[in-house]
Chain A
Amino acid sequence: MTTHNWTPDQPLISIRDVHKSFGDLEVLKGITLDVRQGEVICIIGPSGSGKSTLIRCINALNPINSGSIKVEGQEVNDPKLDKLALRKKVGMVFQQYNLFPHKTALENIMMAPVKVLNEPVDEVEQRARKLMKRVNLIGKEDAYPGELSGGQQQRVAIARSLAMNPDVILFDEVTAALDPETVNEVLLAIKDLAQDGMTCILVTHEMGFAREVADHIYFTDRGVIVEHGPPATFFTEASDPRTQEFLSQIL
């Protein structure tokens, strides 16, 4: 696959005027944003504002209607797109963890590298064990998802995504389904990744977390980006009434 002359100094992900409709309902009405390598982006906003849809478009789980999404120079909105090559670069973690219930934690992490990338089992297993350690789940290798708490499952899901060595990971409201006491362990795992330089795009309702780890915050409402900025100024200097109203409700 060609690299389309992409160099690391250009944005890793470049989104230009993206429109997306489900039937008559237009959920994205011209979104434009850039994500640079190593950056952590948080997308916040009320429910139904198109946040999740936007990140699902980045790895082609949802096709877009018009506009352009480029990942390392590769146009996602292209009928000839090699989806598998794209998804190799873009990992994703879901709100409902979506682990494979018939596989143990370790097998969940190993499945795609072994079955899809055809990497040697021993090597993948070593890597998977390291990842289990990294997300602080030593001793849970042989547990099935049904035996793990939500927070533990979500950390396995993060490790599973990391096992593919992606260049960027999309986090789709990954703490929204968790019990309050387990939210923190998942956020710590993500924070650890962010500090290691992993490019992350998070859709989140955790404002404190966004403020702490994000390099840039985007506030979306009804399919458009209303306001954006670095956390230092975003939370204090929000000027748009919609942003102010949202922040006043949530903070």
Chain B
Amino acid sequence: MNGFQQYFYDLAQEYPRWNFIFFYDPTQSDRVIQGLWMTLELSVICVILSVVIGILGAWLQGAPSKTVRIIVQGYIQFFRNTPPLVQLLFFYFALGQFTPTYSPDGWLEVPIISNVGWAIISLSFFAGAFNVEIFRAGIESVPESTQEAAEALCMNRAQIFRYVVFPLAFRVSLPALNNNLVNLVKTTTQALAIAVPELLYQMISIYNDYSTAQYACMLVLFVAYIVLVGILVFGMNHWERKIKVPGYGN
């Protein structure tokens, strides 16, 4: 045991309610690290996918086809108006039943989409629904006259979107996007309900095994999410400042 581990071991001996077991027991540390990685993985993948869904959805909302627009609208209503926890359970238990399985050893039946896969899908679609609305609002904020000027300069629809509408819409959307992504990172904890071994899941498992570790687990959970969300917010704010142009937006 090194000095760090020894300190927390002694602390637990002296004050049994503050048993930071994962700081001196390697088995428990591994669980925390695995949980942290899983949370990071979920967050990063879902953030990226939800932004892609948002951009795609906002673009499709401007489509000439009414059917496409109705589908996008239906998607938004479904995912925005139902709780993410219910979505996770629905995806995993209801749709999960119908997913094809494969058999790596000829004996076990493994569904092709794991619980982690379902968590990624449902959380990405959940946050994506909000992102569609966020980007749509951004696109609507770009004045018609600015697009007309681009049109008069020989740009076609795709060029106008790429060089004029999107860069402007994105700047307007960033603060709201920032909020939604913070929410998404926090919502990854709900994947606990379908046994995705992310940070909250691991922490609860630890204090179920070692009840004296409950306060310590709670404390570390708070700190972990403050740091994690803090990094995201810091990065997004930095980005926001970096692409801010004088005299546009706030």
Contact = CB atoms under 8 A, between A and B. Distances in A.
A157 B247 CA distance: 17
B148 interface: yes
Contacts of A88: 154
A101 B250 CA distance: 13
B246 interface: yes
A116 B245 contact: no
Contacts of B168: 100-102
Nearest to A146: B247
Interface string A83-110: 0100110011010101111100000000
Contact of A146 (B154, B155, B245): B245
Contact of A115 (B145, B163, B167): B163
Give the dominant DSSP class at B's interface: helix
A1 interface: no
A163 to B, nearest CB: 9
B143 to A, nearest CB: 8
Interface string B156-196: 10010001100110010000000000000000000000000
Contacts of B152: 59, 61, 87, 91-92, 94, 161
Interface string B24-66: 0000000000000000000000000000000000000000000
A214 to B, nearest CB: 23
A95 to B, nearest CB: 9
Contacts of A147: 246-247
Nearest to A111: B163
Given A96-B145, A164-B153, A116 B159 contact: yes
Interface string B131-157: 000000000000101101111111110
Contacts of B151: 61, 87
A51 interface: no
| Chain B CB within 10 A, most for which of A91, A96, A100 | A100
Interface residues of B, number: 23
B146 A98 contact: yes
A116 B148 contact: no
B248 interface: yes
B154 A164 contact: yes
A175 B246 CA distance: 23
Interface string B91-109: 0000000000000000000
B149 A101 contact: no
B245 A101 contact: yes
A117 B154 contact: yes
B148 A61 contact: yes
B52 to A, nearest CB: 22
Nearest to A90: B152
Given A102-B168, A112-B155, 6 more contacts: A88-B154, A100-B163, A102-B167, A102-B243, A144-B245, A147-B246
13 contacts: A84-B154, A87-B154, A91-B152, A94-B148, A98-B143, A98-B149, A100-B164, A101-B247, A102-B171, A115-B155, A115-B163, A144-B245, A146-B245
